[in-house]
Amino acid sequence: MAVSGSRLLSSNRAGWTMAAPAFGLILLFIILPFTLAFGLSFTNQRLFSPNPTQWVGMANFDQLLGVSALTLEPERDDAGEIVRDDAGAPTYPRLRGYTRNNPDYPNLVGKQEWFSFQYGESRTYVLASDVVFMKALINTFIFVLVVAPLQGGIALLLALMVNQKLRGINVFRAVYFMPVVVSIVVVSLLWRFIYAGDNGLLNNVLGWVTFGAFQPVDWLGNPDTALPAIIAMSIWQAVGFHMVIWLAGLQTISPTLYEAANIEGATRFQAFRYVTWPGLRNTAVLVLIVITMQAFALFAQIDVMTKGGPLDSTQTMVFQAVERGYRKQDIAAGSVISVILFLIVLSISLIQRYLTREKT
Amino acid sequence: MERTVLTKIVDDFNASQSDWRVMIEQFPQAAYNDSVVAAALSGELPDILDVDGPIMPNWAWAGYLAPLTIDPDVLEGFLPGVIGTWNDKIYSVGFWDAALAMFARKSVLEANGIRVPTLDEPWTGEEFDEILVTLKDTGEYDYPLNIGMADKGEWYPYAFPPYLWSSGGDLVNRETYQTAEEALNSDAAIKWGEWWQSLFERDLVPGPSQRLADHQNGFAEGKYALNWTGNWLALSSLETYGDDLLFLPAPDFGEGGKIGAGSWQFAVSATSAHQDGANAFIEFALKDEYFAAFSDGIGPIPPTREAAAMSEYYAAGAPMEVFDELSERQGTLRPVTPGYVVQSLVFQKAIADIANGANVVTALDTAVDEINADIQNNAGYGHN
């Protein structure tokens, strides 16, 4: 250990010199900003302000993550009967009476309803200090959970298909890889036209395929379809990149293994299950981690296509970090989101590493 | 065109004296504010800056701008929207103003028995609502009114608060500028919010998914009967409709008709080593003939009556004369506070959420909380 340590540090001057530019840039543009963000998240730093920066401790985190529950009994009239609305559902006092200017509920000040559920006659409201952030958090997780398996799976499928010795196969490889080369901003702009509500390409195609039976959908303007629309487009955009990584993995598998499997009389599925898949193990780990990390950083598509709307259905963590830190000049708030995002991605990467570790 | 006029002023100034030389640098408008902030953070601001009127207090508060030292008498008789005052000091002055108006066609109003409103007697809120319903019922238009929901950006906090102000609400309490409580979520504001939402529910205006092309051309193509837009589109609309076109004042929802005031203005940077020269240039440029030249070149409203009289479009009897009076009578500044940069974004989101069907009270309460938290985080933004 001591030997390798000394070799790494002293008798390897040429190596360090060559690595220096890269190390310097990483230090300057990744480690330093991150350390700064970590420190700033405990202050009230603004983008610019004549006021001095103050240490505020965990206040930013409390503000961002504060959640309370409030259980309300239904309203009753003088006879003790539950007051019901036209649809027959019991009515509850307005939350506004508890969250605003009500000294009896100091823990609810400034909170808003996030979601609520019924339990018997009473209704429990979950209130958050920062509902937009909570929605951003949930949306980001949905995005990652859908994109990681789907994008990885489709990329593998494409890789298997283009990993054949056919004439012109390079054309297909190039076509699938093309969206990766185009700037994501340009791709997002184009997809905005595809998803346009009145006579966008997608609505026209769907209308044509169904002989006009399909009712046009305002894909990006409807809270129910906006996030799925962005998910679909994001999967399409980056799938080519991961296809190439899978392809590289596929080509490291020795053809002799397939020949042996063939001689043993393996079916195509068995060849995949017992030769291809074990051979792709390390590639799979890489693809999964890269997709997860990229998916957590979802920003450009949101910024160009929906700006977090409609009704916060496409808010994401990085979009909110930029929105607050830069556009609203609140560097501290942006830093807090970045730190939380870092902790989430770090723990997920550690879990993924643990689950995909070499079992010896 | 703007550059041609500005270049001429700069050349005139450089030729008129030998103490100072002025040079122009320009940035695209979308990236302009970012460029200035970046330059300010690295201490490399130019001597003279162009600044958007409502942003000025933020830059002045942050210490980017120095108060102007020009003689206040020079600014006598200017439209109120072109003089940028923050904490009792003048920081910026504009060579023009912009104004909003309801673009309409006389023939359409007459055919539907709608009265032509005047500045003394604008449409009332209820009357306006009935007019929209009447126009919708004709079935001749995609929507009776275009308010430009496709133009997401500063358009929202510029074009839509006038209705809120006229209803008795505001983005923030303008007496103290320390809270938005009872301003943005007052009963009047909630009533306005519910009306606003109903515009979308009743399909009286196109929603946030409107295509930008429809926003820009829909009125000229006859898709919309009324167009809530600014004087910068007056020229092209006049080309389409000629004498039939009317520029109508904003409807009065109770507190008088209002339109936004304050456009781009010139200011002097606080780090400038040549503040005397910068002020000298601005004072030199404040001439009616230059105002008129800007107006003729790019179409904005000249800041003085004299300049308006000299201009092609705003002189007595000229087609856009009415804007001058609209500005003077209905022009209202957006909240004059450094917090406006955040308040406008918060308002923008609230108004989009309400249009998309969010609960009005919750949306406005959320906006109030966010504005108040921001004011608190900034220790009240240093209002005197």
The DSSP code sequence of B166-184 is HHT--SS-TTTSS--TTTT
Q: Flag whether residue B362 sits within 8 Å of chain A, measured between CB atoms.
A: yes
Q: Flag whether residue B97 sits within 8 Å of chain A, measured between CB atoms.
A: no
What contacts A135, CB < 8 A, 6 or more positions away? A114, A312, A313, A315
User: Which of B 37-76 lie inside 8 A of A, CB atoms?
Assistant: 37, 40-41, 61-64
- As a whole number, mean pLDDT of residues A215-236 equals 92
Q: Which residue of A has its CA nearest to B209?
A: A221
- Looking at residue A55, the DSSP 8-state letter turns out to be B
Any idea what the Cα angle at residue B335 is, between residues B329 and B337, rounded to 5°? 140
Q: Flag whether residue A6 sits within 8 Å of chain B, measured between CB atoms.
A: no
Q: How far is Cα A108 from Cα A128, in angstroms, rounded to an integer?
A: 9
pLDDT of the residue at A7: 62
Q: How far is Cα B259 from Cα B251, in angstroms, rounded to an integer?
A: 10
ipTM for the predicted complex comes to 0.85
Looking at the predicted structure, is the pLDDT value of residue A122 above 80?
Answer: yes
Q: At what angle do helices B187-201 and B360-377 cross, to 10 degrees?
A: 130
Q: Which residues of A touch B378 (CB under 8 A)?
A: 46, 49, 51
Nearest CA to CA, how far is B382 from chain A (Å)?
9
pLDDT of the residue at B37: 81
Tokens of B208: 């946030």
Of A296, A320, A292, A322, the residue nearest A308 (C-alpha): A320
Nearest CA to CA, how far is A93 from chain B (Å)?
14
| A·B CB contacts under 8 A | 68
Cβ pair A345, A148 in contact under 8 A: no
Q: Flag whether residue B270 sits within 8 Å of chain A, measured between CB atoms.
A: no
- Looking at residue A81, the DSSP 8-state letter turns out to be P
Query: How far is the first Cα of chain A from the last one, in angstroms, to the nearest whole number?
Result: 23
Q: How far is Cα B313 from Cα B72, in angstroms, rounded to an integer?
A: 28
Q: Which residues of A touch B362 (CB under 8 A)?
A: 112-113
- As a whole number, mean pLDDT of residues B51-57 equals 91
Looking at the predicted structure, is the pLDDT value of residue A359 above 80?
Answer: no
pTM of the model: 0.88
Q: How far is Cα A273 from Cα A123, in angstroms, rounded to an integer?
A: 51
CA-derived radius of gyration, chain B: 21
Looking at the predicted structure, is the pLDDT value of residue B368 above 90?
Answer: yes
Cβ pair B331, B162 in contact under 8 A: no
Tokens of B164: 């809120």
Residue with tokens 């929209």: B132
Give percent of chain A with pLDDT exceeding 70.
96
Looking at the predicted structure, is the pLDDT value of residue A11 above 70?
Answer: no
Interchain proximity B41–A328, CB inside 8 Å: no
CB atoms within 10 A of CB A105: 15
Nearest CA to CA, how far is A206 from chain B (Å)?
19
- Hey, is A191 helix, strand or coil? helix
Looking at the predicted structure, is the pLDDT value of residue A343 above 70?
Answer: yes
Looking at the predicted structure, is the pLDDT value of residue A242 above 90?
Answer: yes
Looking at the predicted structure, is the pLDDT value of residue A10 above 70?
Answer: no
Phi/psi for B83 (5° steps) reads: -105, 120
The alpha carbon of residue A150 and the mean position of all alpha carbons in its chain are separated, in whole angstroms, by 13
- As a whole number, mean pLDDT of residues A223-243 equals 94
Q: Flag whether residue A39 sits within 8 Å of chain B, measured between CB atoms.
A: no
What contacts A263, CB < 8 A, 6 or more positions away? none
Cβ pair B331, B79 in contact under 8 A: yes
Give percent of chain A with pLDDT exceeding 90.
45
Give percent of chain B with pLDDT exceeding 90.
53
Q: What is the mean pLDDT of chain B?
A: 90
Burial B190-219, CB ≥16 within 10 A → b, else e: bbbbebbbebbeeebbbbbbbbeebbbebb
pLDDT of the residue at A2: 47
pLDDT tier at B305, thresholds 50, 70, 90: confident
Looking at the predicted structure, is the pLDDT value of residue A8 above 80?
Answer: no
* Torsion angle of C-alpha atoms A321, A322, A324, A328, degrees rounded to 10: 170
Please list the residues that pair with B246 across neighbouring strands. Answer: B104
Q: Flag whether residue A110 sits within 8 Å of chain B, measured between CB atoms.
A: yes
Q: Which residue of A has its CA nearest to B376?
A: A44
pLDDT of the residue at A287: 93
Q: Flag whether residue B3 sits within 8 Å of chain A, measured between CB atoms.
A: no
The residue ranking higher by pLDDT, B349 or B32, is: B349
The alpha carbon of residue B349 and the mean position of all alpha carbons in its chain are separated, in whole angstroms, by 18
Identify which of A46, A198, A312 has the shortest CB distance to residue B378: A46
Nearest CA to CA, how far is A178 from chain B (Å)?
28
pLDDT of the residue at A360: 62
pLDDT tier at A6, thresholds 50, 70, 90: low
Q: Which residues of B touch A100 (CB under 8 A)?
A: 365
Q: How far is Cα B79 from Cα A101, in angstroms, rounded to an integer?
A: 41
Looking at the predicted structure, is the pLDDT value of residue B1 above 70?
Answer: no
Interchain proximity A49–B356, CB inside 8 Å: no
pLDDT tier at A1, thresholds 50, 70, 90: very low
Q: Which residues of B touch A309 (CB under 8 A)?
A: 208, 349, 352-353, 356
pLDDT of the residue at A12: 76
Per-residue pLDDT tens over the stretch B68-80 = 998 888 888 888 8
Q: Which residue of B has its CA nearest to A199?
A: B211
Tokens of B202: 């009743």
* Secondary element (H or E) of residue B344: helix B340-355
Nearest CA to CA, how far is A49 from chain B (Å)?
5
Q: What is the mean pLDDT of chain A?
A: 88
Tokens of A213: 């039976």
Of B310, B381, B17, the residue nearest A49 (C-alpha): B381
Identify the weakest region by mean pLDDT among A17-31, A82-96, B53-67, B240-254. Answer: A82-96
Cβ pair A242, A155 in contact under 8 A: yes
Q: How far is Cα B155 from Cα B25, in angstroms, rounded to an integer?
A: 25
